[in-house]
Amino acid sequence: GAGVSQSPRYKVAKRGQDVALRCDPISGHVSLFWYQQALGQGPEFLTYFQNEAQLDKSGLPSDRFFAERPEGSVSTLKIQRTQQEDSAVYLCASSLGFQGTTGANVLTFGAGSRLTVL
Amino acid sequence: DAKTTQPTSMDCAEGRAANLPCNHSTISGNEYVYWYRQIHSQGPQYIIHGLKNNETNEMASLIITEDRKSSTLILPHATLRDTAVYYCIVRVKPQDYGGATNKLIFGTGTLLAVQP
């Protein structure tokens, strides 16, 4: 598609429920990122994929957070046993990747999925 | 990655130039300066980047000081639609990642309010 697509745009979950957030990156983009953005804050890095390989998950706040990108395209961020502090906007971004580029690596972001945990 | 410092907020009159400053005094020689902005309820949007020369595109101009310790993003004729949070980020050149994650690290940015 023309841009990064995320679904659902809004999700309300009861505390303790599991949620899954989907990201469709731009076709052909090698790199995929997940960010978490709390109200009034800048986006915080969660995890990074290069194709299907998860190369960096240093930003995942706990083992309740899990991300996958099994075929190197669509990615899913799963949050198990949601807590109120998980309420945030979850942003997905993709890029062509750095290999072979001579310029900067520009990330294209989706509109985000807003998660509210009650 | 070098840390950046930006004012929390700024106002600008519609039609006037908006000049957004950023300090990055610990920037290394192989780090680019990036600017992104985030309009309410949207994801961040790339604006411009530069290494050491001034840059201009259809959205903005980027002025980097000779010592590279600071930069200014210029929106030449601000409109109400330019009201957003503007993030200044420094990041290692792609060729120098050496396999490390090429993630962007955001601060809290500058909230630019364009007034009618």
Nearest to A30 by CA among A93, A109, A103: A93
- Residue A38's pLDDT is 95
Gap between the Cα atoms of B28 and B1, Å rounded? 8
Contact A44 B106 (CB under 8 A): yes
Lowest mean pLDDT among A57-61, B6-10, B96-100: B96-100
Cα distance from B73 to chain A (closest Cα, Å)? 17
Contact check, Cβ <8 Å, B44/A109: yes
Instruction: Give the max Cα distance, chain A.
Output: 47
Instruction: Kindly determine whether residue B44 and residue A91, on different chains, have CB atoms separated by under 8 Å.
Output: yes
Q: Which pLDDT tens digit goes with each residue over A70-110?
A: 999 999 999 999 999 999 999 999 998 755 454 567 899 99
Of B85, B102, B104, the CB nearest to A98: B102
**Mean pLDDT (whole number) for A3-11:** 97
CB atoms under 10 Å from CB of B93, counted, come to: 19
Q: How far is B37 from chain A (nearest CA, A)?
A: 11
Render pLDDT for B44-102 as a digit per residue (tens, 0 to 9): 999 999 998 899 999 999 999 999 999 999 999 999 999 999 999 988 765 555 555 67
Nearest Cα residue to B62 out of B36, B35, B29: B35
Residues on chain B touching A4 (C-beta within 8 angstroms): 43
Please tell me the predicted confidence (pLDDT) of residue B28. Answer: 87
Instruction: Tell me the backbone φ, ψ of residue B109, rounded to 5 degrees.
Output: 70, -175
Q: Identify the pLDDT of residue B29.
A: 85
Of A4, A31, A91, the CB nearest to B102: A31
Among residues B106, B28, B89, the alpha carbon closest in space to that of A104 is found at B89
